[in-house]
Structures are given as C-alpha cells and as structure tokens.
Chain A
Amino acid sequence: MKAIVLNGIGQADRNLDYVGEIAADELRGHGCKVESTILRDLAIAPCMGCFGCWVQTPGVCLIDDAAREVTRKMIQSHLVVYLTPITFGSYSSDLKKVLDRSIGLISPFFTRINGEVHHRKRYAQAPKLLGVGIAHKPVGEGARIFEALIARNAINMHNKAHAACVVSEDQSATEMHDLMRAALHKLGIMS
C-alpha cells in the first residue's frame, strides 16, 4: 500500500517534525510504503481561482510548479495523510496551499451525494484520507472543527474512507502511536 504524508508543519512549528516521523513509523508498521513530503520546503504558489484545471487543461493545474507532482502522487496513492498543526480548526497554510491546488483531481460537473450537491469524481478510485492534526493545549474546539473538516473534505474529494486523529503536543510518542493506530484501523488498514 502506497501512502503519501503531506507534512504541513510550517517553519515556525518545526519542533513538531517528530510527529511526522511517528506517523511514518506507524504507517510502515502497517505495511505501507511511505513517502513524506515536507511542503514548507517546496515552492508552491497559491491557487489563482481561475478554474483552468477544470476547463483549460482538465485535471492539471495551469501553474507549473511542485504542486502538480504532489497532486499526481496523491491520486496514485492508496492513502493520503494530511499532517498539520490545527490552525483555527483548519489546516496550516502550507498544507492548504497544496490542497487548494488539487481540485483538478475532481470533475467540475455537479452531482448529488446524500442530498447535497458536490462535484463528480474524475478518477474511479480516490485514496483513503487520514487527517493527523496536532493540537496545542488545550485541545478544545479546534479539534472538533478539524474532524468536521476532514469529513467534509472526504465527501468532496471522494475519498474511499476517512479518519481524523488529533494528537497534542504534551502526549508521549506511545500515546500518539496508539491514536494513529486506532485511526488506521478505522480506515481498515491493519498491521
């Protein structure tokens, strides 16, 4: 199983990089071939809102930078991991930048899912989605918003399954491993 970890830990939070190593270890322990991408090290421009990835070069963003390759790897993986400090309940700007650039992975056309309008699939198979949010103490409402965001993203991006795992800075590595393992099991990924 191929897994890509999109590490959205920003420059100011580099002291949290060890959480990415714990996540990669846990994934390898579950038989995954892991590729970790440190997004802050990549030159990625923000989305321009042009919809060129839908109507000009369908499936490919018009901006030719590292986000194209990350996007390709996302759809070619079995599992995508969003690793991020929880930022007001959302993702860090480093992670969000690449996700905004990934909408070419879905179709512009509308469909209806559970009574709501969403965009159609572009690819027959989308990866499973695991969100790993790193919370500052106290964990609080941001964690609830993060979990809701992962669930909503999974609908819109047609992820086959999704789970959110919130860890906090004061937890031990063992506790983080336990939480990540539980989330992987929820996704049906067993060691």
Chain B
Amino acid sequence: MSTEDQRVLLLVGSPKAPGRSVSEALGCYVIEKLEARGWSSRTIFIRASLQSDGGQSTLLNAASDADLILLSFPLYLDSLPAPVIRAMELIAEHGLRKNARFAAIVNCGFPEARHNSVALDICRRFADAAGLEWAGGLALGMGGALSSKHLQDQGPMAGKIIESLELAVDALVEGESIPDEAVRRMARPIIPAVMYTAIGNFGWRRQAKRYGAKGKLNDRPYQP
C-alpha cells in the first residue's frame, strides 16, 4: 500500500494545554512513527479548537481531509470528555467529504484497562454514524503512572505501551485494524495494582498539602 499520500489527523481529547497530557504523548508517538513511513500529519487540540468558529471550521476541514483520524483522550466518567463528544456531534452533523478510517487510544487513571471499554464502544458507534471505518482502539489503565514526556523518555514503564503502539502503526500503515496483540499489550498493568493505588493515594495527599488542603480532602461542602 502506498503511504506517501496518506494523511493522519491526531485529535487530542485532553483538555490540558499542549505538552501537558498523557493523551498527547500517546498520540504523538503514533504520529511520529507514521511520519517516518511517509505520512503527513496534523494535530488538533479539541478543547481549544471548539472555542471559536474558526477553530471549529479548521477541525471539520482537517477531519474531511484525513485518511486516518486518530483520537487520543483520557477517560472521563466512563466516557469521553464533553468537548470530544461535542466535536463528534459537529463532525457527524457536518459530514465528511470522503471515507476515512478512525482509531482511538483511551487512557484512564484506574489500574484496570477494562474501565475504558464503554468509551471505546462509543468511539466505534461514532465511526459508524459518521461514515468512518473503525480501525480499532487501544485501552490503557494506570495512566496516572505516566507523564506528558515523550514515551521513549519514560523508562521501562512505557515499554509495553511502545510495543503496542508499534504493532498498531504497522497495522494502520497496511490499511488493517489494530491487532489484538496490540490491545493486549496496551492493557497489561504497568505495575502491580496495589502499588499503583498506594502511590496514587499518597499522591493525592501530597498534592493537597501543596495547596494547604491536606486536612480538607474528605470535606463535604454540599452536605445538606
């Protein structure tokens, strides 16, 4: 399959600023690998793009021009962040000028990757409604163990994630769906769940201490 004229659009679904999210780090890794195979790319941060009519037009035009749309987002309440759903509503209403493929990477702060399964069902359903070919999704648990740094700079914890993304890139370049092995490797725990939750609970206290709120973590401000 010729890849020289293929265009990929990365949609970053995290509401955080550019350079600050795990979602961006995951998506950018795929983009770099596709660019190395001759693809051209474009990256749009969804929350920022929705803040103006011009940004929305840019988003819709970029989606129409893409051969592959890759959405990378954090899990919000078992689903997608509201701005991502808004972008999906707009794309589905607007329609796309050509058939393209759609793939998704979702990361959550729980140890178990299976928390992401409903969100990936939603992505697949969106692809169907928008006339996109569903190329599969990857679900990552323990997203809180990662940072926004480049995956290759995150040490051994990112190893199985990189392996998964490499397999996904190989398949996407060939016009195939993300293989099951990539899904399995992405879903493997980075560290034991007990260790992850202990570190996470400690992390909440440490962050609260920084804001002078350590003693208020269990407050109930809306208690009737």
Binding site for B on A (CB under 8 A): 10, 12, 46-49, 51, 54-60, 71-72, 75-76, 87-93, 96-97, 99-100, 103, 105, 107-110, 116-118, 122-123, 141-142, 145, 148-149, 152-153, 156-157
CB of B193 within 8 Å of the partner chain: yes
Residues of B within 8 A of A145 (CB): 118, 121-122, 125
Q: Can you list 12 A-B contacts (CB < 8 A)?
A: A46-B82, A48-B16, A49-B74, A55-B211, A56-B213, A58-B218, A87-B85, A88-B85, A117-B111, A148-B118, A149-B79, A152-B118
Residues of B in contact with A, size category:
35 or more
Alpha-carbon gap, A17 to B182, bound state (A):
44
For B125, B193, B218, the residue with the greatest tally of chain A CB atoms inside 10 Å of its CB is B125
Chain A nearest CB from B89 CB (Å) reads 6
Nearest B-chain residue to A157, judged by Cβ: B77
Q: A54-B204, A55-B211, A100-B76 are in contact. Are A108 and B217 (CB under 8 A)?
A: yes
- Once the chains bind, are B219 and A59 in contact (CB under 8 Å)? yes
Residues of B within 8 A of A157 (CB): 77
- Once the chains bind, are A122 and B220 in contact (CB under 8 Å)? yes
Return the contact of A12 from the options B16, B93, B126, B201 (Cβ within 8 A): B93
Residue interface bits B46-86, CB-to-A below 8 A is 1, else 0: 01000000000000000000000000001011111111011
Return the contact of B208 from the options A48, A55, A117 (Cβ within 8 A): A55
Return the contact of A56 from the options B114, B125, B211 (Cβ within 8 A): B211
Which chain B residues (105-142) contact chain A, with CB distance < 8 Å?
110-112, 114-115, 118, 121-123, 125-126, 129
- Once the chains bind, are B15 and A48 in contact (CB under 8 Å)? yes
Residue interface bits B201-217, CB-to-A below 8 A is 1, else 0: 10010011011010011
Which chain B residues (87-109) contact chain A, with CB distance < 8 Å?
88-89, 92-93
CB of B224 within 8 Å of the partner chain: yes
Q: Which 4 A-B pairs have the closest CB atoms?
A: A93-B86, A97-B82, A96-B82, A152-B78
CB of B177 within 8 Å of the partner chain: no
Chain B nearest CB from A166 CB (Å) reads 14
Alpha-carbon gap, A139 to B193, bound state (A):
38
Nearest A-chain residue to B110, judged by Cβ: A117
Q: A46-B82, A47-B81, A58-B217 are in contact. Are A71 and B118 (CB under 8 A)?
A: no
Tell me if A's interface is mostly helix, strand, loop or mixed: mixed
Residues of A within 8 A of B122 (CB): 88-90, 145, 149
Nearest A-chain residue to B211, judged by Cβ: A56
- Once the chains bind, are A51 and B207 in contact (CB under 8 Å)? yes
Nearest B-chain residue to A76, judged by Cβ: B224
- Once the chains bind, are A149 and B78 in contact (CB under 8 Å)? yes
Return the contact of A107 from the options B47, B115, B217 (Cβ within 8 A): B217
- Once the chains bind, are B125 and A89 in contact (CB under 8 Å)? yes
Residues of A within 8 A of B210 (CB): 55
Alpha-carbon gap, A65 to B82, bound state (A):
16
Residues of A within 8 A of B92 (CB): 88
- Once the chains bind, are A58 and B219 in contact (CB under 8 Å)? yes
Return the contact of A58 from the options B81, B123, B216 (Cβ within 8 A): B216
Return the contact of B85 from the options A72, A93, A123 (Cβ within 8 A): A93
Chain A nearest CB from B113 CB (Å) reads 11
- Once the chains bind, are A156 and B78 in contact (CB under 8 Å)? yes
Nearest B-chain residue to A85, judged by Cβ: B89
